[in-house]
Amino acid sequence: MAGTKFKYNKKTLRYERTGVSIVGLAFRGFGYLIFATLFFVGLVTLQNFVIDTPLEKSLRAENEALENHKVILTASLFESNERIGQLNSEDQKLYERLFETKLTEKPTRNSEKKEEILTAGPEVFGQWEASTRSASSEIIKKAITRDVSWSKNIHIEKRDLGQLKSLPTLSPVEKMEVDKLVSGFGKRINPFHKGIYHHDGVDISLPAGTSVVATAPGTVLLANTSNQISGFGNYIEIDHGNGIITRYAHLGELKVRWGQKVNKGQAIGSIGSSGGSIAPHLHYEVIRKGINVNPVHYMVAGFTSTQYNALVEASTKQNQSLD
């Protein structure tokens, strides 16, 4: 039979069929296993280091391109970060010039150095690239939204600039604090006869001698002094043009005279308790086209949105005025 093996037996002087050896089978199986393992390792090695799949070829080409152009990409990424920082700074300055207060929203900042970006690994470099792309997209969206809003709702003609500058947006005292406004505009309790009457301005309580400033540029219309214990006492009226007048009453000292030109923020007097006043304070009014209006609606400069909302809320409390 094919494949059958015989062995010569010297004792019997005959060829006898050999039996199956378990050890031989084991060695033969182990040899086949080693051969199969080496063959598999060889195929894998050939696949990984010699034969390239289309995907591997594409990724290898992309990596080579990234390595060759990393310096250029790093420079572009660094310049983009620098430009984002400049835009945030310009946005901050524009906001402060328009609204005369700090921008509370925190701008996006990318402070990575060029050397750090250049030496970063692919994963970190990709994160910086994605971060810069996201920041750029946010700025573009914000610019588009604000541009549309300004063009539709806040279109300002050149002839309107004078009127805008005449608005009394500044607080009548330096470093105004919300809790210093002790009585607002509207119906209040009179401190003398305790009846309800219309309070034509707001009362700001501060120590006597505290500086009072002009809330907008204009011309001194009145600078009146009085020794009477009733009325406005020592008070100043400033004409800001466009039908707007501001009044500063119960002053201690007057620092301006009739007809004098004053600038926005210029000291014009000091807080006192002259006239019909029960405590040192400033009674401040805004008069538009002969009608008293709520001064708080104009006092927007120097306050954040949160502080201004608190100021408005304080001005609505129904309490006793100081004059």
Report the run of H or E that residue 79 belongs to, with start and end. helix 70-99
- Decide if 196 contacts 189 (C-beta within 8 A): yes
What are 74's two structure tokens?
A: 């790093």
pLDDT by position in tens, the chain (length 323): 455 677 777 777 777 776 666 776 777 788 888 888 888 888 777 767 666 677 777 777 777 766 666 666 666 767 777 777 777 777 777 666 655 556 555 555 555 555 565 555 666 666 766 777 777 777 777 777 666 666 665 666 666 666 777 899 999 998 889 999 999 999 999 888 889 999 999 999 999 999 999 999 999 999 999 999 889 999 999 999 989 999 999 999 999 999 999 999 999 999 999 999 999 999 999 999 999 999 999 998 888 878 888 899 999 988 999 99
Short-list 254, 292, 258, CA closest to 274: 254
- Give rounded-to-5 percent helix, strand, coil for the chain: 40, 20, 35
What are 56's two structure tokens?
A: 């591997």
What are the backbone angles phi and psi of residue 147, rounded to the nearest 5°?
-65, -45
137/143 Cα distance (integer angstroms): 10
Supply the DSSP string of 95-116, one letter for each residue: HHHHHSS---SPPP-----HHH
| Alpha helices per DSSP H over 217-315 | 305-315
Q: Which residues contact 302 (CB under 8 A, 6 or more apart)?
A: 100, 101, 170, 171, 176
pLDDT, residue 32, reads 81
Tell which phi-psi region holds residue 9, choosing left (phi > 0), alpha (psi between -120 and 50) or beta.
beta
Instruction: State how beta strands 186-189 and 6-9 pair.
Output: unpaired
177/129 Cα distance (integer angstroms): 44
Gyration radius from the chain CA atoms: 43
Q: Between the CA of residue 298 and those of 116, 187, 295, what are the distances in Å?
A: 49, 19, 6
Q: Can you give the residue ranges of every domain in the chain?
A: 6-51, 55-153, 178-315
pLDDT, residue 123, reads 66
251/273 Cα distance (integer angstroms): 6
Short-list 116, 156, 102, CA closest to 300: 102
- Decide if 236 contacts 191 (C-beta within 8 A): no
Q: Which residues contact 319 (CB under 8 A, 6 or more apart)?
A: 182, 183, 188, 189
Q: What's the pTM?
A: 0.56
pLDDT, residue 209, reads 94
39/43 Cα distance (integer angstroms): 6
3-state secondary structure of 203: strand
pLDDT, residue 286, reads 96
Other beta carbons within 10 angstroms of residue 184's beta carbon come to: 24
- Decide if 201 contacts 292 (C-beta within 8 A): yes
Q: What is the DSSP letter of 159?
A: G
pLDDT, residue 105, reads 57
- Domain 178-315 = CATH 3.40.190.290: no
pLDDT, residue 82, reads 75
Q: Tokens 């006043």 identify what position?
A: 277
- Decide if 284 contacts 248 (C-beta within 8 A): yes
3-state secondary structure of 286: strand
Q: What is the DSSP letter of 318?
A: -
